[in-house]
Amino acid sequence: MKPISYTLEEIDEAARRLLDEAPGKILLFYGDMGVGKTTLIKSLAHHLGVKDVTGSPTFGLVNEYEGAGGARIYHFDFYRINNEEEVLDIGFEDYLHTGTWIFIEWPGKIEGLIPDDAVAVRLTTNADGSRQLSVGEAVSS
């Protein structure tokens, strides 16, 4: 997938392309604080039919949404975790086998738990303030 540059006004098109072209359903979001990971995930959830208000699950670690046709979508934010044991305690490995969309912010904190089929989504800020999204293999940030 070729990198996508987009502005906030173009985020819905970038999200649609990511959903259409991602080679898997477990997406790992890498990028600096404030680059727009949660904002992009909100747009992805919207395109998957989520009607609920979406937001970052920083304090609860995971938000579960209902998408089109009752499909479940899981959004994890591991910014505040201290170790992988905390993630295992919430049953993280069970989520990985659901076959549904899973969005993970701050995956570098759980490198030992990342499945081989996960897809890295790297977000950066361009000089003009727009964002660039690139997709690749899941490797440490």
Buried b (16+ CB within 10 A) or exposed e, 8-40: eeebeebbebbeeebeebbbbbbbeeebbbbbb
What domains does the chain contain, in order, with CATH numbers?
Answer: 7-124 (3.40.50.300)
One-letter amino acid at 129 equals G
**Cβ(43)–Cβ(17) below 8 Å:** no
Residue 89: CB atoms within 10 A of its CB come to 10
Can you give the pLDDT at residue 140?
A: 44
Complete edge-to-edge strand list for the sheet that includes strand 62-66: 4-6, 131-137, 119-125, 26-30, 101-105, 72-77, 62-66
Angstrom distance (rounded) from CA 69 to CA 35: 31
pLDDT in tens, the chain (141 residues): 899 999 999 999 999 999 999 999 999 999 999 999 999 999 999 999 998 766 666 567 899 999 999 999 999 999 999 999 999 999 999 999 999 999 999 999 999 999 999 999 999 999 999 999 999 866 544
Four-residue CA torsion sign, 8, 30, 73, 136: positive
Closest CA to 47 of 32, 68, 61, 30: 68
How far does Cα 58 stand from its chain's mean position? 13
